[in-house]
């Protein structure tokens, strides 16, 4: 039977011990460390109370620190590593809790005791399992976060491209000066020509001729409009090119 931790949501865990039993400063410092490491080095031991809820059997301090970490940063502190007591492992986990997690009385000064090689082996194996589990969890979280960032980046690029296309469709399309003379509304054409100090009779002739048929070139405009000098025509072309092009 291989012992391994499981990641479960902190909000699904309850404890019979109140947070007030522990130092607020210790809880706060441990919570920040949990967020920095995205995990706890001493997994909580829990027992199922229903299909989706758990109760702390050992590790009340770690649980309250994890709960505080979730308050500080709900995303990073959402999950925590735990050992779940199941029927097939309950006896062994309970023994480890008694041996490894309960305070041991200090030996009297000068006394000696024999070294239990099996106990040392069990402790070493447990620590190795915990270390491997933490590394696996960190790698898994890092890979998941990288995939999330890549997806978010692609989505942002797509949004930017869509926005650029939207802006491009709203930009006024360039229009040639000759086309402007032929297509501008009467008020717009009159206003622009008056700003260039084109005489009213010339403006009226341009509008009148345009209504008969569109101008085919600027030379055609000069030919059809009596009194329109080349110099004035060039001024019209320059002005329309600057404001439209």
Residue 190 lies in a domain: yes
Q: Which pLDDT value is given to residue 108?
A: 57
What element of type H or E holds 13? strand 13-14
Q: Tell whether 65 is covered by a domain.
A: yes
Decide if 159 is inside a domain: no
Sorting pLDDT into bands at 50, 70 and 90, what band is 65? Answer: very high
Question: Do 128 and 192 belong together in one domain?
Answer: no
Q: Say if residue 134 is in the same domain as residue 206.
A: no
81 and 191 belong to one structural domain: no
Report yes or no on whether pTM surpasses 0.85: no
Q: Domain for residue 134, yes or no?
A: yes
Question: Stretch 74-96: mean pLDDT, rounded?
Answer: 86
Total number of domains in the chain: 2
Report d(CA 129, CA 127) in Å as an integer: 5
Average of per-residue pLDDT values in the chain: 83
Tell whether the model's pLDDT for residue 175 goes beyond 80.
Answer: no
Is residue 27, in this structure, part of any structural domain at all?
A: yes
pLDDT of amino acid 138: 81
Residues 18 and 139 occupy one common structural domain:
yes
Looking at the predicted structure, is the pLDDT value of residue 19 above 80?
Answer: yes
- When comparing pLDDT for 226 and 104, which is higher? 226
Confidence at residue 245, expressed as pLDDT on a 0 to 100 scale: 47
Q: Can you give the residue range of the structural domain that contains 89?
A: 6-101+122-143
Between 136 and 45, the more confident residue is 45
- Domain identity same for 13 and 57: yes
The average pLDDT across 183-210 equals: 89
Is 154 within the bounds of a domain?
Answer: no
- Model confidence band, residue 173 (pLDDT cutoffs 50, 70, 90): low
Long-range contacts of 69-74 (CB under 8 A, 24+ apart): 69/10, 69/31, 69/32, 69/34, 69/35, 70/10, 70/11, 71/31, 72/31, 72/32, 72/35, 73/35
Domain CATH code at residue 94: 3.90.1530.30
């Amino acid at each position: 039977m291989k012992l391994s931790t499981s990641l479960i949501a902190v909000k699904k865990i309850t404890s019979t011990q109140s947070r007030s039993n522990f130092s607020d400063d210790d809880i706060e410092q441990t919570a920040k460390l949990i967020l920095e490491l995205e995990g706890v080095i001493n997994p909580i031991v829990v027992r199922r109370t229903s299909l989706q809820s758990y109760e702390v059997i050992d590790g009340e301090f770690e649980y309250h620190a994890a709960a505080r970490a979730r308050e500080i940063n709900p995303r990073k502190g959402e999950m925590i590593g735990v050992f779940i007591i199941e029927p097939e492992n309950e006896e062994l986990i309970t023994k480890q809790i008694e041996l490894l997690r309960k305070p041991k009385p200090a030996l009297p000064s000068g006394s000696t005791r024999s070294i239990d090689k099996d106990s040392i082996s069990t402790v070493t194996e447990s620590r190795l399992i915990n270390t491997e589990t933490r590394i696996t969890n960190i790698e898994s979280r890092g890979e998941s976060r990288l995939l999330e960032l890549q997806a978010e980046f692609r989505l942002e690029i797509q949004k930017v491209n869509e926005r650029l296309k939207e802006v491009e469709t709203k930009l006024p399309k360039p229009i040639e000066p000759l086309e402007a003379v032929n297509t501008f509304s009467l008020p717009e054409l009159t206003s622009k020509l008056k700003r260039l100090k084109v005489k009213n009779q010339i403006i009226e002739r341009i509008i009148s001729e345009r209504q008969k048929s569109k101008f085919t070139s600027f030379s055609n405009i000069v030919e059809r409009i009596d009194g329109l000098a080349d110099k004035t025509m060039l001024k019209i072309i320059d002005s329309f090119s600057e404001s439209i092009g």
